[in-house]
Amino acid sequence: MHRPDAPPPTLRLRIDEEALASNWRTLDRLSGSARAGAAVKADAYGLSAAKVIPVLRDAGANDFFVAHWGEVGELLDHVPASRISVLHGPANAQDSAYARALGVRPVINSLHQAKVWIECGGGPCDLMIDTGMNRLGVRPEELGDPLAGRLEIETALSHLASADEDSALNPLQLSRATQAFAAVSAKERSLANSAGIALGKDYAFDLTRPGLALYGGVPRGELAGSIRQVVTPEAAILQVRTVQPGETIGYNATFTADRPVRAGIVSIGYADGFLRCWSGKGVLRAGEADLPLLGRVSMDMAVIDLSQAPHLREGDWVEIPWHLPEAAARSGLSQYELLTTLGHRFSR
């Protein structure tokens, strides 16, 4: 029996591809003599790797970073395997065999991973050096180990822990990275993420690795005005109803109407990344009209006040303001969370 196509979703993400390309070009320019790559892990920060990667590639990006081996396949239709680095590295022989078969570069994060990679036959790889993050990475004092010396290192990496702040850790990590990079034989060096690019040319080395700022995030004030908004979620109104004075809305009755309220039930909830922290303080938008949220956000629905938009009807679309710095300040979520928690029910 033929299965008909599902009706179109009542959620959609508008992705401004020109803004995305512009952000990469801006970050590449701000990287000075270094070139900018692109962190496209977590399905390109929730936007859809399949949509984002061709835009970044055509804008000029040539180096792509994912976290998991399972993310590699999405990239292979768009970029050469040799330009893909997998940040979590090879935990075992199976990971190593997969990388070697495709020509993808593993990021070596420990002497154990170095041993696993070499025993599988080795080949081009990247090396992560921990200069103060205390997550993944070979410690600087381990760089003299013979295993490290046997690696065929394309790029020596480190990662800034506090680049979004004016922290004493930033120049300390820069100093440590400079010394560590000099201690290994690598074709290129990379330290700066999006915020690190804003710290200046000393942090850029040969390759920068922007992520958040590609997608509209502004991790430091120096980038404000240069980075464009990329993502705008929209949701359809499922129902319009009048809530009478004294009636309540939503779970736990946290909102009570003090007048007749023309309310819209909107097809978005915390399952879509529009989390309950928005309850009571978020607004949706139709044109220039702000539409305050009423009551608590549910899993699949939210309720808005339509008083300022009397023209809206069932089936009409409203916008969820998603300028990341402003949305983070209003919601209490990080700009990273605002992107990566966007659910899979959006058409992209």
Q: pLDDT at position 247, please?
A: 98
The Cα 151–Cα 128 span in angstroms is: 12
pLDDT at 111: 98
The mean pLDDT value of the chain amounts to: 97
Residue 347, pLDDT score = 93
Q: What is the pLDDT of residues 134-160, one digit of tens each?
A: 999 999 999 999 999 999 999 999 999
Over residues 123-138, mean pLDDT? 97
* Sequence letter at residue 111: L
pLDDT at 239 over 90: yes
Q: Measured in whole angstroms, how far is the alpha carbon of residue 24 from the centre of its chain?
A: 14
Say what the pLDDT of residue 317 is: 98
Calculate helix-pair angle for 93-102, 111-119, nearest 10 degrees: 60
204-236 residue pLDDT tens: 999 999 999 999 999 999 999 999 999 999 999
Amino acid at 295: G
Q: How high is the pLDDT of residue 249?
A: 97
52-70 pLDDT, tens digit each: 999 999 999 999 999 999 9
Alpha-carbon distances, residue 200 vs 21, 220, 248 (angstroms)? 21, 12, 53
Q: Rounded distance, CA 254 to CA 278, Å?
A: 13
Separation CA 2–CA 152 (nearest Å): 53
Residues with catalytic annotation? 41, 251
Domains in the chain, CATH or no CATH each: 17-217 (3.20.20.10), 231-340 (2.40.37.10)
Using the predicted structure, report yes or no on whether residue 280 has a pLDDT greater than 90.
no
* The predicted structure's pLDDT at residue 129: 98
At 1, the pLDDT band (50, 70, 90 cuts) reads confident
Q: What is the pLDDT of residues 87-118, one digit of tens each?
A: 999 999 999 999 999 999 999 999 999 999 99
- Output the pLDDT for position 2: 85
User: How would residue 121 be classed by pLDDT, with cut points 50, 70 and 90?
Assistant: very high
Q: What is the 3-state secondary structure (H, E, C) of the chain?
A: CCCCCCCCCCEEEEECHHHHHHHHHHHHHHCCCCEECEECHHHHHCCCHHHHHHHHHHHCCCCEEECCHHHHHHHHCCCCHHHEEECCCCCCHHHHHHHHHHCCEEEECCHHHHHHHHHCCCCEEEEEECCCCCCCCECHHHCCCHHHHCCEEEEEECCCCCCCCCCCHHHHHHHHHHHHHHCCCEEEEECCCHHHHHCCHHHCCCEECCCHHHHCCCCCHHHCCCCCCCEEEEEEEEEEEEECCCCEECHHHCEECCCCEEEEEECCCHHHCCCHHHCCCCEEEECCEEEEECCCCCCCCEEEECCCCCCCCCCCEEECCCCHHHHHHHHCCCHHHHHHCCCCCCEC
- Could you give the CA distance from residue 174 to residue 182 in angstroms, rounded to a whole number? 12
**Angle of CA points 241, 247, 248, to nearest 5°:** 90
Are the C-beta atoms of residues 69 and 95 closer than 8 Å to each other?
yes
Share of residues in the chain with pLDDT > 90 (%): 98
CA 102 from centroid of its chain's CA atoms: 25
Distance CA 208, CA 61 (A): 11
**pLDDT band, very low/low/confident/very high, at 44 (cuts 50, 70, 90):** very high
